[in-house]
Amino acid sequence: MDARVRVVIAEDSAILREGLAQLLAVRGVEVCAAVGDAEALLAAVAEHRPDAAVVDIRLPPTQTDEGLRAAVALRRSTPDLGVLIFSQYVETRYAAQLLGDGRGGAGVGYLLKERVVDIGAFVSALERVAAGGTALDPDVVAQLFGAARRASALDGLTPREREVLALMAEGRTNQSIAERCTVTERAVEKHVANIFTKLELPVGEGGHRRVLAVLRYLEAHAAQPPHAAQPPHSSRPPRA
């Protein structure tokens, strides 16, 4: 990238917070601030105006959903801020609000801590979110796609088109989608074009059509009934 990505980190664990800050700094990311609660996150974003915020879900004082609620507030108050949720939990209610409330072309992501094993891939996802793209863990996408209600705008998508849209939500390129689906890249291009057409995203939307297609799907789940936060693996207890 031509310029270093500037980020703010919100993580309640001091060890994880400082460790992540150091790892990102080594990779050329400028960490403007690393804070431990939602109030400090909002203040840091207002002060530093970063390109993106990396936010844990469970922050003080209740260790429930302060981070996600702060992220939703930031999406509304700071339209050009990329927001990357980085947590060990999937909270579908606020995730739908967060992912469906994109404004001004800002990027959004939701990654699970235990599934990130390559810091280079994490930095790439962060850069993509800072540039206005998406980076969603497959488990997060699966839970959103598993919601019972389907929006009418998406009813016309074929199963393959929905699969392609899910992979688009993960931030995959057409080549990566082709490899995953065991089809040609040309076939993927056709599916993507069909998705754009069925979701009424005209050519005039330019390069943002890919992000808009993902958000259009995720917006359909914003009205879902609330779901309790739950860890990806129920055997792992929440942090104290």
Query: 78-92: per-residue pLDDT in tens?
Result: 989 999 999 988 877
Predicted local confidence at residue 198, as pLDDT: 87
The CATH number fitting domain 6-219, selected from 3.40.50.2300, 3.90.1170.50, 3.20.20.10, 3.30.1600.10? 3.40.50.2300
pTM, two decimals, is 0.68
| Phi/psi-derived region of residue 206, left when phi > 0, alpha when psi is between -120 and 50, beta in every other case | left
Residue 54: count other Cβ atoms within 10 Å of its Cβ: 28
At 40 the three-state DSSP class reads helix
How are strands ordered across the β-sheet holding 6-10?
30-35, 6-10, 52-55, 82-87, 108-112, 134-136
More confidently predicted of 222 and 20: 20
Please choose, from the candidates 31, 3, 37, 4, the residue with its C-alpha nearest in 3D space to the C-alpha of residue 19.
31
CB contact at 8 A, 152 and 177: no
